[in-house]
Amino acid sequence: MLALEAIQRGHVFKFKLLNTAFITLLPKKPDALFIKDFRTISLIHSFAKLVTKVMANRLVPLLPTLVPSNQSAFV
């Protein structure tokens, strides 16, 4: 909770290491040789996932006032 409060107050300079992600390739089939035989995934820190989820949930009620109806396809 202290970390979430620090982010809410704008004290994010200490969380630099949490803003990292690892990209890895998972084979789609056992004998994967070509790049098309692999699936890319991004492994981000679970705290970063939590923060983005909280931010997204708090932003949802404001979206109708921020995004015009003719731009809703981009939401």
- Domain with 16 in it: 1-51
Q: Is residue 75 part of a domain?
A: no
- The tally of domains found in the chain comes to 1
Q: Is residue 66 part of a domain?
A: no
Q: Tell me, what's the pLDDT at 37? A: 93
Token reading at 44:
């981000």
Q: Is residue 71 part of a domain?
A: no
Token reading at 40:
């890319």
Say what the pTM is.
0.48
From first to last of its 75 residues, what are the pLDDT tens digits of the chain? 787 787 778 777 766 666 677 889 999 999 999 989 999 988 877 777 788 888 889 888 988 888 887 876 765
Q: Is residue 70 part of a domain?
A: no
Integer Cα distance of 34 and 54 in angstroms: 38
User: What DSSP string runs through 30-68?
Assistant: TT--SGGGEEEEEEE-HHHHHHHHHHHHHHGGGHHHHS-
Q: Tell me, what's the pLDDT at 74? A: 60
